[in-house]
Amino acid sequence: MRLSVIGCGYLGAVHAAAMASIGHEVVGIDVDERKIEALSRGEAPFFEPGLPEILSEGIASGRLTFTTAMAAARGAKVHFVGVGTPQRADGHAADLTYVNAAFDGLVPFLTPGDVVAGKSTVPVGTAAGLAPRIESTGAVLVWNPEFLREGFAVKDTIDPDRIVVGVADGQTVDAPGILREVYAPAVAKGTPFIVTDLATAELVKVAANAFLATKISFINAMAEIAEVTGADVTQLADAIGHDARIGRRFLGAGIGFGGGCLPKDIRAFSARAEELGRGESVAFLREVDEINLRRRDRAVQLVLDGLGGQVFEKKVAVLGAAFKPHSDDIRDSPALDVAVRLHGLGAHVVVTDPEAIANARAKHPQLTYEADRDEAIRDADAIILVTEWDKYRRELSPSHASTLTAGRVIVDGRNGLDPTAWRAAGWTYYGMGRP
Ligand code: NAD
């Protein structure tokens, strides 16, 4: 099938390449010329495992092209819209400028029977507002939220755990049928395919993210209680996680969530609920956000504690900059936030990360970056682990670290290290919510 994908960022570039890899003919469209040039050369403009391979395969096969010209969307049967919906500069609501611009740009090139599939995460009610704008073209609008996880985006796009398609009342085109054809390999496998109305589809996405954020902040709230009682939140998480109704996943206490989705999505959800007169229904999300941000303060405090109350001119090695491993995404990264705060307190901060240094440097040029992990920790007075890359969590032994650093203080912002092993090697170990 001929498809267009409008917006070629973390979501759209992967979606375009993944759709080509399952046999579709895809044009990816973006306003960012540099991104389109890179993608056209088969280069992924960001780090995502597996993406370079499917990009070059798609381009070599002739089924995958990229352009800045919206006119190239003409002739596609389905148009996926995956442009950004960041937090507005003046508040917590979602900024819909890019979604509106993408629809404005696309409308002249739609033909009767086309399906426009919104993939961006939008406040509930957005799709109903957009539908009339494409009605006169004879195309139909569906909302097809995306649940991919960065770091596993290729797999999640080709083989999702569910497909949700929101449709408007009284549509004459069988849009869900067309999307079943688009996602044929997943549908053939029996992947749940859930057809809803537009509002439900929009809500499914924000509800899923709100739930995940709440689960993380729940365990981080337990970490705060553990910290004043001497309890160990990791044991607590293991023990409650054995209850199948609770489950152990997303119960990792640490410096909390970040990235281009969870923080802005829970804020936009709260803002939208306020607009709908139901602010109190999701008032807990404010608490979820606050707990999350407090954990960053806690991590900074632990470094201060470890260094005797002040970090001025002390070298602190920060292991990680990306908001999570297997990604170079630094949007709202708790790791970088901690680094910036330590820098603000006068520490000589050296940040290392396997993939995210270029992005981090562009955003925070005031910090010092070092690609080599061992060079980053050399002569450090303290180390703080903030992104749980295997290179730091599994592959850095306390005995090896001891040969490089000046001090013996380690703050484990992700509870990923073995406290016994680090203490046995003479280190002062601080975890999050553990004694
Ligand atoms: P992104 O910032 O990486 O990409 C957005 C892209 O849209 C950019 O390349 C930008 O240049 C392009 N764009 C902006 N205006 C345009 C226009 N008028 N025409 C064409 N292109 C335009 O963002 P992202 O992470 O890919 O997220 C996109 C959307 O998907 C957001 O709503 C996000 O919440 C949602 N989402 C993201 C993820 C994820 O893991 N990144 C997962 C699920 C949902």
- CB count within 10 Å of CB 366 equals 10
Asked if 81 contacts 106 with a C-beta cutoff of 8 angstroms, the reply is: yes
For range 321-342, the mean pLDDT: 98
In DSSP notation, 119-182 reads -S---TTHHHHHHHHHHTTT-EEEE------TTSHHHHHHS-S-EEEEE-TT-SS-HHHHHHHH
The verdict on the CB of residue 123 being under 6 Å from ligand 1 is no
Percent of the chain past pLDDT 90, that is, above it, reads 99
Amino acid of residue 99: V
Q: Give residue 292's pLDDT band: very low, low, confident or very high (50, 70, 90).
A: very high
Q: Give residue 220's pLDDT band: very low, low, confident or very high (50, 70, 90).
A: very high
- Nearest C-alpha to atom 4 of ligand 1 is from which residue? 9
Answer yes or no: is 199 within a domain: no
Is it the case that residue 57 has pLDDT exceeding 90? yes
281, 407: one domain: yes
Tokens standing for 305? 């504690």
154, 250: one domain: no
Amino acid of residue 46: F
Q: Give residue 421's pLDDT band: very low, low, confident or very high (50, 70, 90).
A: very high
| Closest atom, ligand 1, to C-alpha of 265 | 34
Answer yes or no: is 220 within a domain: no
122, 242: one domain: no
Site to probe by mutation for ligand 1, drawn from 70, 83, 103, 143 as the one with most ligand atoms within 8 Å of Cβ, is: 83
Whole-number Å distance, alpha carbon 10 to ligand 1 midpoint, is: 6
157, 239: one domain: no
Specify the pLDDT at position 169. 85
| CATH number of the domain to which 148 belongs | 3.40.50.720
pLDDT in tens, 145-180: 999 999 999 999 999 999 999 999 888 889 999 999
Specify the pLDDT at position 172. 82
Answer yes or no: is 394 within a domain: yes
Residue with tokens 């999570």: 324
Is it the case that residue 420 has pLDDT exceeding 90? yes
Which among 35, 34, 17, 14 has a CA at the least distance from the CA of 26?
17
SS3 385: strand
Last residue of one domain, picked from the residues 191, 212, 239: 191
Answer yes or no: is 42 within a domain: yes
Answer yes or no: is 202 within a domain: no
Whole-number Å distance, alpha carbon 195 to ligand 1 midpoint, is: 24
359, 425: one domain: yes
| Closest atom, ligand 1, to C-alpha of 148 | 42
Last residue of one domain, picked from the residues 167, 191, 215: 191
Tokens standing for 396? 């850095």
Asked if 288 contacts 257 with a C-beta cutoff of 8 angstroms, the reply is: no
Which among 240, 251, 242 has a CA at the least distance from the CA of 433?
251
169, 257: one domain: no
- Nearest C-alpha to atom 17 of ligand 1 is from which residue? 102
158, 28: one domain: yes
Answer yes or no: is 66 within a domain: yes
153, 242: one domain: no
Specify the pLDDT at position 170. 83
For range 52-65, the mean pLDDT: 98
Answer yes or no: is 213 within a domain: no
- Nearest C-alpha to atom 1 of ligand 1 is from which residue? 9
Which among 263, 18, 252, 269 has a CA at the least distance from the CA of 148?
18
Q: Rounded distance, CA 379 to CA 367, Å?
A: 17
Specify the pLDDT at position 5. 99
Instruction: Compute the mean pLDDT over every residue in the chain, rounded to the nearest whole number.
Output: 98
Tokens standing for 368? 């010092």
The verdict on the CB of residue 31 being under 6 Å from ligand 1 is yes
Last residue of one domain, picked from the residues 166, 191, 216: 191
143, 281: one domain: no
234, 185: one domain: no
Asked if 76 contacts 35 with a C-beta cutoff of 8 angstroms, the reply is: no
Number of domains in the chain: 2
The domain in which residue 7 lies consists of 2-191
User: In this structure, what are the phi and psi dihedrals at residue 430, rounded to the nearest 5 degrees?
Assistant: -120, 125
Answer yes or no: is 388 within a domain: yes
pLDDT in tens, 352-407: 999 999 999 999 999 999 999 999 999 999 999 999 999 999 999 999 999 999 99
158, 283: one domain: no
Query: Which amino acids are annotated catalytic?
Result: 261
153, 236: one domain: no
Is it the case that residue 249 has pLDDT exceeding 90? yes
Specify the pLDDT at position 75. 98
